[in-house]
Chain A
C-alpha cells in the first residue's frame, strides 16, 4: 500500500489459514511518501491454524517518510480447538462441516467485501481445499 497524497486512507485485512504442515507468511509493505501529511493506514493480519503442525508468520514492512502520518498494525492468531469442534459435533454437525463453518466465520470480513457470486465460490473452494485437513 503506497500513500502519495495527503490525507489518504487505507485498510489492509489479511486472513491466512494454515493446515497440515504448511507455514503461511504475510509480507506486506505500507509506504508513506513525504507529501502524505495526515495519511492513515490500518493493517489487520489474522492467522488461523488448523492442526498442531501448521505455522504462520507475519512480516509487516513499514516505510514512512512523513512523521504526521499514522500507521497501525495488528496481528492475531487463532486455532480451531478440539473443544470447539466437539461442541459443533455434539449438536449433530459433522467434522468437515464444523471446520467449514469456523473457517467461513473467520473469513467473513473479507468475503463480505466480495461480489456475492465470487464470495460463494471462494467459500466452496475453501471448503474443498480443507477437506481432510482435520482429524
Chain B
C-alpha cells in the first residue's frame, strides 16, 4: 500500500558494488517506505541478486560507491548480524544446509537476538516452543522439521518455507526475498505467497526479487522495478510486470542501449 506520509525504511542512493574485480551494481537508486511491496525484476546477471546480498552485507561483495540508509542509519557500516537484529531480513535463493545445528535451536537463538535488540525479554526453551508452533501455521510446516538440522535434507519448497518461518519469527521491517519463488511448485508457491501476504503490514516493507510474473499474481506489488546492467532502468506499477511477461526482456536491452547512446557512451554489455 502506498502512503506518501509513510516513514522511509530504506533509502538506496547511487549504490555501486563489485564482486572480486567485476563491477555488478552501477548506481542503484531506490526508496522503500513502510507498508510497501516492491518487486525487482530483471534478467540473470542484471544485478538483482547482488543487490540483495549487498543489502544483507555478504562479505564477498565490496561496495564501491553510493549509500544505503535504513531508518536513517548508515546500513553499509554495519556487520551482517547487526543488520539482521535491527530488522533487515534476506530470504535466500538457495538456503544453505547446516548439518549438526538443530533447526529449533537456530530459530531460538536468532529470535532471541532480535528480541534482545528490540528490548523484549528473551524466550526460554518452553516459551519459544509455544511461539514457534504457532508460527509454523503461517507456512503450514510440520513440527518435525524443528528437530532436523537446519535445511538438511529439506526439499526446495521446504527450504523456502523455512525462510518464511524465520521471517514470521524475526518480524523484520524490511524483508528482501531473493527469488523466493524459484524452484517452487504451485502448492509451495501458494503457501509461501500466503505467508508473505500474512506477514505484510503497514509498518514493514517487502522487496521481492523475482524473474517471473507468477509470484506477483499472488503477491500484489505497489512498485515494479526493472533492473538491467546493474541499474534500475524503469519503475512502474504492477502492469509493468505483465508487460515484461508478454514482451520478454529484449526491449529492456534496446532501451538500455538507447539510453547509453544518448548519454554519449558505448552501449553497455548486458549479461
Contact = CB atoms under 8 A, between A and B. Distances in A.
A91 B79 contact: no
A84 B98 contact: yes
A81 to B, nearest CB: 7
B85 A87 contact: no
Contacts of A92: 81, 84-85, 110, 113-114, 117, 170
Contacts of B97: 84
A94 B60 contact: no
Interface string B90-131: 101001111111100110011001100100000000000000
Contact of B90 (A83, A90, A95, A105): A90
Interface in B43-84: 56-60, 79-81, 83-84
A88 B98 contact: yes
A1 interface: no
B96 A101 contact: no
A89 interface: yes
A82 interface: yes
B149 interface: yes
B166 interface: yes
| Interface-central residue, B79, B95, B109, by most chain A CB under 10 Å | B109
B96 A97 contact: no
Given A92-B110, A92-B113, A87 B98 contact: yes
Please report whether the interface of chain A is mostly helix, strand, loop or mixed according to DSSP: helix
B80 A89 contact: yes
Contact of A78 (B58, B60, B99): B99
B81 A101 contact: no
Interface residues of B, number: 33
Interface centre among B60, B98, B106, B149 (most CB of A within 10 A): B98
Interface in A79-122: 81-84, 86-95, 97, 101-102, 104-106, 108
B150 to A, nearest CB: 8
Given A82-B60, A86-B59, A95 B81 contact: yes
A97 B56 CA distance: 18
A63 B168 CA distance: 56
B167 to A, nearest CB: 11
Nearest to A81: B96
A79 to B, nearest CB: 12
Interface in B162-187: 166, 170
A91 B101 contact: no
A127 B113 CA distance: 19
Contacts of A90: 56-57, 80-81, 83-84, 89-90, 92
Contacts of B149: 105
A84 B114 CA distance: 19
A89 B81 contact: yes
B79 A89 contact: yes
B109 A93 contact: yes
A82 B117 contact: no
Interface of B: 56-60, 79-81, 83-85, 89-90, 92, 95-102, 105-106, 109-110, 113-114, 117, 149-150, 166, 170
14 contacts: A84-B97, A84-B98, A86-B59, A86-B80, A88-B98, A88-B106, A90-B57, A90-B84, A91-B84, A92-B84, A92-B110, A92-B117, A102-B100, A105-B99
Closest 9 A-B residue pairs measured CB to CB?
Answer: A105-B100, A92-B113, A91-B110, A92-B84, A89-B80, A92-B85, A105-B101, A89-B81, A83-B96
